[in-house]
Amino acid sequence: MTPNAWTRWPSPEALARVGISQPRRMLGWAVRGLVIGMLLWGAFTSNRVPLWGAVAAGAGVLVAAAAAWGFFRTTLAHRLVPSLALIALLLGLAVAAQATGFRVPALVIWCGCAVAALERLPVAAALPVTSIALAAYAAVNDDVWLTTAATTAGLALAGYVLRLDAEARGSAQRLLAQERAARAAEAESAALAERARIAREIHDVLAHSLSAQMVHLEAARLLIERGADREQILDRVVAARAMARDGLDETRQALSALRGELTPLEDYLTELVGANDGAEVTVSGERRRLPAEASQAVRRVAQEALTNARKHAPGAKVRLRLEYGEDQVTLDVRDTGGTPGDLTASGGGYGLLGMRERAELLGGSLEAGPHEEGFAVTLKVPA
C-alpha cells in the first residue's frame, strides 16, 4: 500500500451515498432501525436497573445516535479531528454502558464503530480505532474464543468490503459525471461549430453578392464620370439589380444547404457558368454526393473565382473543371486572361483569403496565382 493510500480519505462521492439503489437504501435504513432497536431494548430490559437508570440509558442512546450522525457528517466533510472526537465519544459511551450493566448496547456500539471507522476514515486512522473497538468487544464477549475471533475478523472484513464498495461506487459516479461533462462539452462544441458554419455561409453569400453588385455600380459610376450615354449606365444599374436578385437566390440556397437540401453540385455549376458568358464546366471521375461542407466550399469558390474573373479580366474565357478523386474532390478554375478591367483597382474584398480559410477549415487546400494564360484557382477538399 502506497503512503498516500494510508492517509487518503474515501472520495466524497463514496461517502455521500450517491448512486445507491432504492433497495439498498431501504436495507440501510432497516439496519439502522435494527441497531437503534437493539440499543433501546438493551437499555430498558436490563435487570436490576432503576427507573432513573433506564432514563439515563435512553438519554445515552440519543447521545450515541447524535454522535453517529455527526460522525457521518464530519467524515463526509473530511474533517479528521472532529471525526475522531465523535468516534471516541461513542467508544466512551460503550465503556460506560458496559460498566453500568448495559452489555448489549455496548457490544452494538463497539461493532458499529469498528465497521464505520474502516468504511469512512483514512486507513491510518481507521486501523487504531477498529483495533480498539474490536479488542473491547472481544474482551467482554462471553462466547468461546473461536467464535469471538471469527466475529471480530468478520466485522473487520465487513468494514473493509464496505469501504471497497463505496470507493467503487464513488469511481462510477465520477466517471458518470465526467461522461456527462464530456457530452455537454461535445454538444456545446457542435453548437459552436454549427454557428460558425451558419456565419460562414451568410458571410460568403453577402461577400459574393455585394462584390458583384459593387462591380456593376462602380462601373456605372465610372461611366457617369466619363459622360457615357444613358443606355450604358442603365445597363450597369440593371446588372447590379440582377446581382441583388441573385444574392437573394443565393441566400435561399444557403438556407437550403443548412437544412441539407442541396441541389446536385454538377447542376449548380452548370447553372452558374450558364449565367456567365465565356465560361464552361467539365466534370470527371465517379460522381457522388458530397458532404454539405465540402459541397458548399466548391460552390463558394466557384462563385468567387468567376466574380474575380469578371472583375479583373473582363471578357476572358473561364474554364471550370470538377474532378472526383478517391478521397478528395478538386475544383480548378482558369481564365484566359485579358486586359485588366476598370474595376481592378477596387480591391479584392473577401476574395482569396475567404476561399483559403474555408478550404483549411475542411482540412483541404487552395492554391491561386497566375499561369501561362491568365489566373488559376485550384481547390482540394477531402470528400
SS (H, E, C) 45-95: CCCCCCHHHHHHHHHHHHHHHHHHHHHHHHHHCCCHHHHHHHHHHHHHHHH
> To which residue does cell 454522535 refer?
67
Q: Residues 142-164: pLDDT tens digits?
A: 777 787 788 888 888 888 888 88
The pLDDT of residue 278 is 73
Q: Are residues 267 and 136 in the same domain?
A: no
Give the amino acid at 175. L
Q: Are residues 137 and 268 in the same domain?
A: no
The reply to whether 239 falls in a domain is no
Contact 215, 310 (CB under 8 A): yes
The reply to whether 112 falls in a domain is yes
End position of a domain, from candidates 142, 172, 189: 142
The pLDDT of residue 19 is 59
Number of domains in the chain: 2
The reply to whether 368 falls in a domain is yes
CA angle centred on 286, ends 285 and 288, rounded to 5°: 125
Which stretches in the chain have pLDDT values below 70? 1-3, 17-22, 24-25, 27-55, 57, 194, 197-198, 200-202, 204-205, 207-208, 250, 253-262, 338-351
Question: Cα separation of 178 and 184, whole Å?
Answer: 10
Terminal-residue alpha carbon distance, the chain:
54
Residues 6+ apart with CB under 8 A from 39: 61, 64, 104, 105, 108, 109
Residues 6+ apart with CB under 8 A from 170: 10, 11, 12, 13, 14, 15, 18
Q: Which residue segment(s) compose the domain that 324 sits in?
A: 263-383
> To which residue does cell 445507491 refer?
20
Q: Are residues 138 and 267 in the same domain?
A: no
Question: Cα separation of 372 and 374, whole Å?
Answer: 6
Return the C-alpha cell found at 108.
452494538
Return the C-alpha cell found at 260.
441539407
End position of a domain, from candidates 113, 142, 171: 142
The reply to whether 213 falls in a domain is no
3-state secondary structure of 19: coil
Helix or strand holding residue 209 (H, E): helix 145-225
Nearest CA to 275 among 324, 311, 239? Answer: 239
Q: Alpha helices of 323-365 — where are they, by DSSP H? A: 351-361
The reply to whether 207 falls in a domain is no
The reply to whether 276 falls in a domain is yes
Contact 307, 343 (CB under 8 A): no
The reply to whether 176 falls in a domain is no
The reply to whether 315 falls in a domain is yes
Strand order in the sheet with 279-284: 279-284, 318-324, 328-335, 375-382, 365-370
Question: Cα separation of 358 and 346, whole Å?
Answer: 23
The pLDDT of residue 321 is 92
Buried b (16+ CB within 10 A) or exposed e, 265-278: beebbeebbeeeeb
End position of a domain, from candidates 122, 142, 162: 142
pTM over 0.85: no
CATH, residue 309: 3.30.565.10
